[in-house]
Structure 1
Amino acid sequence: MSRLSWANRMAALASLGDEKRLQLFELVAASPGAVGRDDVAGATGIPRSTVSFHLDRLVQDGLLAVEFHKPPGKSGPGSGRPAKMYRPVAGEIGASVPDRNYDLAGELMASAIERSTTEGEPVAEALPAESFRKGRSQAEAAKTLEDFLVQAGYRPEPDGDGGFLLPNCPFHRLSNKHPGVVCTMNGAFLRGAATRFDASADRVAPADQPGHCCARIMPPAGAVQTRGREPGGQGG
């Protein structure tokens, strides 16, 4: 499953704040296969109409998915309509304020170590290469670069010149302790995403604005700028 947006993760966690909904989600999540409303109602003693309402709400909040299956042992004409079945779509859901994505950082670093181990490439080269690849891959699902930045948790803000400031760093705690490694990784990740929408990765530039990401997004090539660029800082 692709990573839920911050807003969707918050909605999912809020949804599980309902005691009955949490009970139903845990029952479906623990089942070896998709289950129907009648099965859930029978197992919990909750009225079928109530079960149906809460299960559909869990689908709406991105925690469950729906499948349709014929009743077991029945097929062909007269066997009845396919039954609506539910299955979990997410193993773990977490949210933080502001949005952080340490799972992504761990995945990038693990991929770089694996690449270094199997191919003999130095980790210092493998990490930006894997980060660039992942950024490009993740951006495939976005309609625009700004859309990607929102989904990735950077909270982009237009800078007035056609570019974006990035008020949030998804790797904040790591970047404070290991700025050289994390900012290089982050810059490569953003450059990979930028090439999905622009042939050049030059739109990603260093930034040293306090409380912001170590990178910013510059205007597209040829865009008219109304003010000068801010001084660049260390990092990617």
Structure 2
Amino acid sequence: MPSAPTPDPTESIADPIETVAALGDPNRRKLYDHVVEANGWVGRDAAAEASGLRRGITAHHLDKLAELGLLEVDYQRLSGRSGPGAGRPAKVYRRARRDVDVSLPPRDYALPGRLLADALVAASTTGEDPGRLLDEAARREGIALGAAIAAGADEGGPGAEAAMVALEARGFEPTQDQDGTILLRNCPFHELARSHTSLICGMNHCLLTAAMESAGVTLDASLEPHDDMCCVRLHRRPIGDRPGSQPGEES
């Protein structure tokens, strides 16, 4: 039987709060639990029978759970037959293999965990300093983030605006000061940064520096630790320091 493609665990899904809230509906929760307990693909008829719900209602709730990223969808012939007369494939569901995390304020411990793991694996092979390798991994991540910022700018938004959109999606909660400085009100790596300040803040600084450089925006990442905020601030680059600027130009 065909199987659904393996999802990218880094791919974003619907708003996680909305996703988890969907399970507050008793019927959706009942259907979700049934699919989880089945530990495999479940068709609409079987789910309706197990839940005691009408098939139309069952289909609606299963599709909503799939839309929110809680279930994966495939089409299979449940009779086990193939060829002429086997009938059309039926829509089936199973629990999604990607994670759904809800945290207020936003936290992201998967990213530093992945970068730290990459650095340690590389260090065990090369014997290089893990801290330096972590910074290199953070810069690579920053280049990818910069590409997303540049794509947003290409769609017509100013560079700083596109940067704020991308940083908001990463949980930094950016806000712009009167002088154009972007303040990051939230640290997605808060607990790690508290216990390993130099390591994690250095990683974050490398990531955001590479992101701004890769995006080509006129913002410089500066390491400026503040209580209850991210350790990095993004300052507007003076016009005279921008590529293509003319001597004597003023901001």
- Whether the TM-score (by the shorter chain) exceeds 0.5 is yes
Give the whole-Å Cα distance in 2 for the aligned partners of 1:150 and 1:45.
Answer: 42
Counterpart in 1 of 2:138? 131
Counterpart in 2 of 1:182? 200
Counterpart in 2 of 1:112? 119
Counterpart in 1 of 2:158? none
Which secondary structure does the structure 1 equivalent of 2:15 belong to? helix
* % identical equivalent positions: 34
RMSD value over aligned CA atoms? 2.9
Write the letter of the residue equivalent to 1:122.
D
Report if aligned partners of 1:8, 1:62 keep a CA contact under 8 Å in 2. no
Counterpart in 2 of 1:146? 164
Counterpart in 2 of 1:213? 230
Counterpart in 2 of 1:64? 71
Give the whole-Å Cα distance in 2 for the aligned partners of 1:182 and 1:162.
Answer: 26
What are the superposed Cα offsets for residues 28-56 of structure 1, whole Å, 9 maximum, x if unpaired? 23444432211212233332222112112
Structure 1: gaps of 5 or more residues: 227-236
**Residue 164 (structure 1) shift:** 1.9
**Residue 128 (structure 1) shift:** 0.6
- Flag the 1:192–1:81 CA change in 2: closer, same or farther, 3 A: farther
**Residue 152 (structure 1) shift:** 1.1
Which secondary structure does the structure 1 equivalent of 2:236 belong to? coil
Give the whole-Å Cα distance in 2 for the aligned partners of 1:31 and 1:194.
Answer: 47
Counterpart in 1 of 2:156? none
What are the superposed Cα offsets for residues 173-198 of structure 1, whole Å, 9 maximum, x if unpaired? 22122211110011112233334422
**Residue 81 (structure 1) shift:** 3.5
Greater shift after overlay, 157-166 or 173-182? 157-166
Using structure 2 for the length normalisation, give the TM-score.
Answer: 0.75
Corresponding residue pairs, total: 224
Report if aligned partners of 2:79, 2:86 keep a CA contact under 8 Å in 1. no
Counterpart in 1 of 2:4? none
Write the letter of the residue equivalent to 1:207.
E
Write the letter of the residue equivalent to 1:40.
A
Give the whole-Å Cα distance in 1 for the aligned partners of 2:141 and 2:102.
Answer: 22
Say whether 1:164 aligns with 2:171: no
Greater shift after overlay, 167-176 or 73-82? 73-82
Say whether 1:16 aligns with 2:33: no
Report if aligned partners of 2:146, 2:213 keep a CA contact under 8 Å in 1. no
| Bigger radius of gyration among the two | 2
Write the letter of the residue equivalent to 2:96.
V
Which secondary structure does the structure 2 equivalent of 1:203 belong to? strand
Say whether 1:45 aligns with 2:52: yes
Write the letter of the residue equivalent to 1:97.
L
- Flag the 1:57–1:210 CA change in 2: closer, same or farther, 3 A: same
Write the letter of the residue equivalent to 2:200.
V
Greater shift after overlay, 107-116 or 143-152? 143-152
Give the whole-Å Cα distance in 2 for the aligned partners of 1:136 and 1:20.
Answer: 44
What are the superposed Cα offsets for residues 3-51 of structure 1, whole Å, 9 maximum, x if unpaired? 547x711111111222332232233234444322112122333322221
